[in-house]
Amino acid sequence: MNLLKKINYKWINKFSYPFIIAGPCSAENESQIMNTIKYINKDYVEVFRAGIWKPRTKPGMFEGVGEIGLKWLLKAKKKYNILISTEIANKEQAEIALKYDIDILWIGARSTCNPFTIEEIANSLSNTKKIVLIKNPLSLDINLWLGGVERLVNKNIFNIGIIHRGFTIYPSKTYRNIPCWLEVVNIKNKYPNIPIICDPSHITGNRKLIYEISKKAINFGYDGLMIETHIDPDNALSDANQQITPKNLTNILNKIFINKKKNKLNKLDLYRTNILEIDKNIIYLLKNRLNTSKDIGKIKKKNNIEIIQKEKMLDLKKYYKKICNLLDIDDNYIQNLFDIIHKKSIEIQLK
Ligand code: PEP
Ligand code: MN
């Protein structure tokens, strides 16, 4: 049997819809934890999150408070009768989280990239009944992601969910990590038994976009959301720009979920969103091409080289044709497009 089909969807049905995880990016101190949980709307939020070991891009940044943070989470759990969740990134962290009986464990994007890390974590969590959520890897490699999930299932872990937190594909001014809706919903189509959760905080990196991305995920049929929420977002020690206040969280969830039942997937919308993303990619690449063309123009000018070189153009045409054959795409269509692209490049180089 396909390992992925063994995942138990039932765990998510024990929660009400929508399944919401909220809480700060990082646990910073006890009062930040207790104050954040105090104001978080428990009608929506059934799981409180906080990272205590933080995978930071550069050394010297706030790297989390460590084990003591789990004590604060347990205190929050006891006082507010809420489930708690934290990120684990190696076997020692997995063992400590189990020792503290943390309810839900998540594996971060950087860890999902490394099969050795996942194998090691899966080993430590073998046979656990705990819920384990696994974020997508940094690059758009769905097999690597699902391979990580399989490693968990292989160790008899069946209460699993996947978190879409966006991918590093091309530099984007809008997103911190680009959402790839079609790819993720395709997983859901193939494996309806895998709960999918969207993390709009790490997708956007920007609190102004949390509502829009959360709404989109819910319209695409996601089971839930993980939203970074902090009592004082502007002064957060990590991911300040993307965290929202508990009050803002309630407003956003109210706007999305008032009178809302779980959606059936809106396929047309999904494909349209994908087209927008593809178009953005095309424009990004064209801009890149124009910049490169400009640089070539400077070198040509400096060295007195003709702007239009007939034999180079013929070479390019042959090159396009070869790629078109390989990809099985109408080469007339592509040549016509490139006529327009070249016209602009020549215009730029003539300037
Ligand atoms: C986080 O959830 O705070 C985090 C580090 O996320 P990611 O692994 O998605 O970067
Ligand atoms: Mn974060």
What would the pLDDT profile of 110-146 be if each residue is shown by its tens digit?
A: 999 999 999 999 999 999 999 999 999 999 999 999 9
DSSP-derived secondary structure for 105-168 = EEE-HHHHT-HHHHHHHHHHHTT--SEEEEEPPSSS-HHHHHHHHHHHHHTT---EEEEE--B-
The Å distance, Cα 122 to ligand 2 centre, comes to: 23
The β-bridge partners of 84 are: 48
| Residue carrying the six token digits 């730029």 | 348
Looking at the CA of residue 110, tell me the nearest atom of ligand 1.
8
* Cα torsion 147, 150, 155, 160: sign: positive
Looking at the CA of residue 109, tell me the nearest atom of ligand 1.
8
Instruction: Provide the strand spans (E) within 181-326.
Output: 196-198, 224-228
Q: Which of 121, 199, 228 to mutate to test the pocket of ligand 1 (most atoms within 8 A of CB)?
A: 199
Nearest to 229 by CA among 67, 119, 128, 82: 82
d(CA 239, CA 202): 9
Tens digit of pLDDT for each residue in 250-299?
999 999 998 666 666 677 888 898 898 899 889 999 999 999 999 999 99
Cα separations (Å) of 269 from 164, 167, 220, 302? 18, 20, 8, 50
- Whether the predicted pLDDT of 68 surpasses 70: yes
Q: What is the pLDDT of residue 6?
A: 97
The Å distance, Cα 56 to ligand 2 centre, comes to: 9
| Region 205-209 average pLDDT | 98
Domain ranges of the chain: 3-256, 267-350
* Cα torsion 76, 80, 83, 85: sign: negative
For 50, the token pair is: 């906080």
Percent of the chain with pLDDT over 70: 98
d(CA 177, CA 193): 26
Q: Which of 21, 25, 58, 228 to mutate to test the pocket of ligand 1 (most atoms within 8 A of CB)?
A: 25
For 66, the token pair is: 């460590």
CB 183 within 8 A of CB 142: yes
CB 74 within 8 A of CB 55: no
The β-bridge partners of 21 are: 47, 226
Kindly identify the ligand whose nearest atom is closest to the C-alpha of 134. 1
Closest residue CA from atom 4 of ligand 1:
108
CB 196 within 8 A of CB 188: yes
Q: What is the pLDDT of residue 170?
A: 86
For 136, the token pair is: 């997508």
The Å distance, Cα 167 to ligand 2 centre, comes to: 14
Looking at the CA of residue 239, tell me the nearest atom of ligand 1.
3
CA quadruple 32, 11, 146, 138: dihedral, nearest 10: -10
**Strongest mean pLDDT among 175-179, 263-267, 306-310:** 175-179
Neighbours of 115 (CB within 10 A): 13
| Region 51-70 average pLDDT | 94
The β-bridge partners of 229 are: 244
Q: What is the pLDDT of residue 265?
A: 64
* Cα torsion 75, 250, 219, 177: sign: negative
Report which residue type is found at 347.
Answer: E
Looking at the CA of residue 165, tell me the nearest atom of ligand 1.
9
Average pLDDT, the chain: 95
Cα separations (Å) of 287 from 119, 274, 284? 41, 20, 5
The β-bridge partners of 164 are: 198
Options 3.20.20.70, 3.40.630.30, 3.40.50.300, 3.30.450.20; CATH for 3-256 is 3.20.20.70
- Whether the predicted pLDDT of 219 surpasses 70: yes
d(CA 108, CA 137): 8
The Å distance, Cα 21 to ligand 2 centre, comes to: 13
Closest residue CA from atom 8 of ligand 1:
108
| Pocket, ligand 1, Cβ cutoff 6 A | 25, 51, 55, 87, 108-110, 135, 165, 202
CATH class of the region 267-350: mainly alpha
Q: DSSP label at 264?
A: P
pTM of the model: 0.89
Query: Cis link prior to 18 (omega < 30° from 0)?
Result: yes
Nearest to 219 by CA among 274, 255, 182, 263: 263
